[in-house]
Amino acid sequence: MQKIITDHFPELDQLSETNKKMLEDGIQIMKAPAGTVMFSEGSECRGYVMLLEGNVRVQKTSEDGREIVLYRVEEGESCIMTTTCLISDEEYGAEGIAETDITVATVPPATFNHLLGNSVKFRNFVFEVYAKRMSMLMMLVEEVVFKKLDRRLAQLLLDRKDAQFEITHQDIALELGSVREVVSRQLKVFERQGLIKLGRGLIEVHDRSGLQAAAD
Amino acid sequence: MQKIITDHFPELDQLSETNKKMLEDGIQIMKAPAGTVMFSEGSECRGYVMLLEGNVRVQKTSEDGREIVLYRVEEGESCIMTTTCLISDEEYGAEGIAETDITVATVPPATFNHLLGNSVKFRNFVFEVYAKRMSMLMMLVEEVVFKKLDRRLAQLLLDRKDAQFEITHQDIALELGSVREVVSRQLKVFERQGLIKLGRGLIEVHDRSGLQAAAD
DNA sequence: TTTCTTATGTGACTTCCGTCACTTATTTTC
DNA sequence: GAAAATAAGTGACGGAAGTCACATAAGAAA
């Protein structure tokens, strides 16, 4: 038996052998290059999508072209957007874009429904992804409403665990739903405070605890 | 057989007789007065909660006391917050408060799980509530990030379908995650434009299409 | 009626943040 | 290596919205 799914989704290793087999046998593996639009307003979907490799950015775009990232689907997670349109016919206006080259496993609707009905574990897995997204979205609302940009920016820098990473000010702005100039200025402030060091398309984090203080 | 649930949740009338009976027999009906805190940070729950009468406001409070309403659970809907903590153990930091006197039906965990496994209709019902909340939260993020307060305020006034209704400026501010003074000022602008008429704790909508224009 | 409480009106000020308009570096590409 | 594209730095400005400080005003309670 293949072990594609359980290799990437350890939680699902607890499924019964029958259910695991059904899942592994039913899935269809697909690869897509970075930049692929996985879903956008009014797209349809043909199965339950689980992300094996890479990550997908889910974002909203405003009328005047500004963007904000709602959340990211990481390796080992499933895409609730496609789940949603699989189960209900709720409309949504978000866009999903592969940030890296990705590999996804698609579970056919019939298999998905069968597993939902027959496996408590699988059901819980699906629900947990939903629950997690809900919490994240609620946190996002809170941050966006109550927190100033400097704090959100500091948090964003901390969320990248690495001591240095490549990103443009423009991309940070899109991520936060702001504009480049504001981000550039605030980054410069952090640099003058010795928290980070700026390069072209590159940020080095020098003082994590200082950034943490700025985020709180 | 009782028909408490199906009277309030028409979608669930399509369940098989067996499942309907199980649902109706298992539920426990409870009433609570307006103002009751249904859940808050770190509260536990003992079942799947369905709202028969009244409505519950779900909100987030910031460190400095400002609030924003995330969404409302209306009559005929279920509370995904309690569902979430029933299924996963995801932490959440939102608070649910009864805005009116309410009547809720609580489905015991065992019944809930049984129905999830045995009824596609019931499962879809549960998922659809989730999907709906997700969309609403995503829309809220979009509004909060990209829309100015005047537009959100106009929309709030339109969302109250009535030509006049009782609400204080303070409550509107909490609803939008803003402060009273800002709301008062903008309401005055609308009044000067002839769109509304202000009274003490009262707003009369005079020109819905004008408000609609202000919201777009 | 008087007094309290709650709701609203407003001016003055500040700060954050988005917009515009350029400039100055780096890289790429021809 | 010159030209073009991309990234970043910055000053100037304006408007939106939060803060502070009172002034009314309308009900409720005593």
Interface check for A146 against chain B (CB to CB < 8 A): the answer is yes
Interface check for B155 against chain A (CB to CB < 8 A): the answer is no
Strand C closer than 7 Å to the CB of B5?
no
- Looking up tokens 């609620």 gives A138
State the count of interchain CB pairs (< 8 A) between A and B.
131
Contact A135 B90 (CB under 8 A): yes
Instruction: Name the residue facing B68 among A94, A123, A141 (closest C-beta).
Output: A141
B73 neighbors B9 (Cβ within 8 angstroms): no
Interface check for A92 against chain B (CB to CB < 8 A): the answer is yes
Of residues A208, A216, A206, A203, the one with CA closest to residue A175: A203
Interface check for A133 against chain B (CB to CB < 8 A): the answer is yes
Contact B131 A88 (CB under 8 A): yes
| pLDDT tier for residue A80 given thresholds of 50, 70 and 90 | confident
The token duo for A157 is: 């820098």
Task: Give the span between the Cα atoms of B210 and B150, in whole angstroms.
Answer: 13
Of residues B46, B43, B19, the one with CA closest to residue B30: B46
Closest residue of chain B to A117, computed from CA coordinates? B117
Task: Give the span between the Cα atoms of A28 and A5, in whole angstroms.
Answer: 11
Whole-number Å distance, CA B180 to C1' D20? 13
Task: Give the span between the Cα atoms of A148 and B174, in whole angstroms.
Answer: 18
Instruction: Give chain B residues 175-204 with Cβ within 7 A of strand D.
Output: 177-179, 181-182, 186, 199-200
B151 neighbors B215 (Cβ within 8 angstroms): yes
What integer is the mean pLDDT of A190-207?
Answer: 95
Return the residue in A57, A82, A85, A90 with the most chain B beta carbons within 10 A, the one to mutate for interface testing: A90
**pLDDT by residue (tens digit) across A119-169?**
989 988 888 888 888 888 999 999 999 999 999 999 999 999 999 999 999
Contact B88 A145 (CB under 8 A): no
What confidence score (pLDDT) does residue A91 get?
65
From first to last of its 216 residues, what are the pLDDT tens digits of chain B?
A: 678 888 889 888 888 999 999 999 999 999 999 988 888 876 767 788 999 999 999 999 988 889 999 999 999 898 888 777 777 666 667 889 999 999 999 999 889 989 988 998 998 888 888 888 888 999 999 999 999 999 999 999 999 999 999 999 999 999 999 999 999 999 999 999 999 999 999 999 999 999 999 998
Interface check for A148 against chain B (CB to CB < 8 A): the answer is no
The token duo for B103 is: 């009547």
Nearest nucleotide to A147 (CA to C1') is C16
DSSP H helical ranges for chain A: 4-8, 17-26, 80-87, 109-118, 120-146, 149-159, 169-176, 180-192, 208-215
| pLDDT tier for residue A90 given thresholds of 50, 70 and 90 | low
**What's the gap in Å between the CA of A130 and the closest CA on chain B?**
8
Rounded (5°) CA angle B51-B95-B60: 125
DSSP A78: B
What integer is the mean pLDDT of A188-193?
Answer: 95
Closest residue of chain A to B88, computed from CA coordinates? A128
Lowest pLDDT segment from A60-69, A109-118, A165-174, B88-97: B88-97
Instruction: Give chain A residues 188-207 with Cβ within 7 A of strand D.
Output: 188, 198, 200-202
The token duo for B208 is: 């819905």
B81 neighbors B43 (Cβ within 8 angstroms): no
Nucleotides of D under 7 A from a protein CB: 6-12, 16-21, 26-27
Does residue A37 or residue B186 have the better pLDDT? B186
What confidence score (pLDDT) does residue B213 get?
94
| Total-model pTM | 0.90
